């Protein structure tokens, strides 16, 4: 994916969830990507993080790949890679 902006991490403390802060930060990141002239935004989300998947789906992100990563003790988790055309 050429000319892409990666959103690495957005975490909101549980005490502050539900106040719209995650939405504000996320929309700021997307606007930064647009301002930089990027064609795509992409990110990874843990395959079992259903709350985040619903959040990203509302913005129109689509799954385009999967990525396995070690988390210790021989365990491997999987991220879904999502993209959005800006």
Active-site pick, 42, 56, 61, 80: 56
Own/partner contacts of 51-56, CB < 8 Å, gap of 24 or more, are: 53/80, 55/22, 55/26, 56/82
Do residues 45 and 6 make contact, with C-beta atoms less than 8 angstroms apart? no
**18-74: per-residue pLDDT in tens?**
999 999 999 999 999 999 999 999 999 999 999 999 999 999 999 999 999 999 999
Q: How far apart are CA 15 and CA 64, in angstroms?
A: 32
Residue 56 is among the residues annotated as catalytic for this protein: yes
Does the pLDDT of residue 1 top 90, yes or no?
A: no
pTM, two decimals, is 0.89
CA distance 32 to 38: 9
**Structural contact between residues 66 and 81, judged by C-beta atoms closer than 8 angstroms:** yes
pLDDT score recorded for residue 16 = 95
């Amino acid at each position: 994916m050429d000319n892409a902006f990666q959103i690495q991490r957005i975490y909101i403390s549980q005490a502050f969830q539900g106040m719209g802060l995650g939405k504000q930060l996320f929309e700021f990141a997307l606007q930064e990507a647009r301002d930089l002239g990027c064609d795509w935004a992409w990110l990874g989300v843990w395959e079992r993080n259903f709350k985040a998947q619903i959040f990203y789906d509302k913005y129109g992100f689509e799954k385009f790949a999967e990525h396995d990563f070690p988390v210790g003790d021989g365990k491997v988790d999987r991220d879904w890679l999502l993209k959005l055309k800006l």
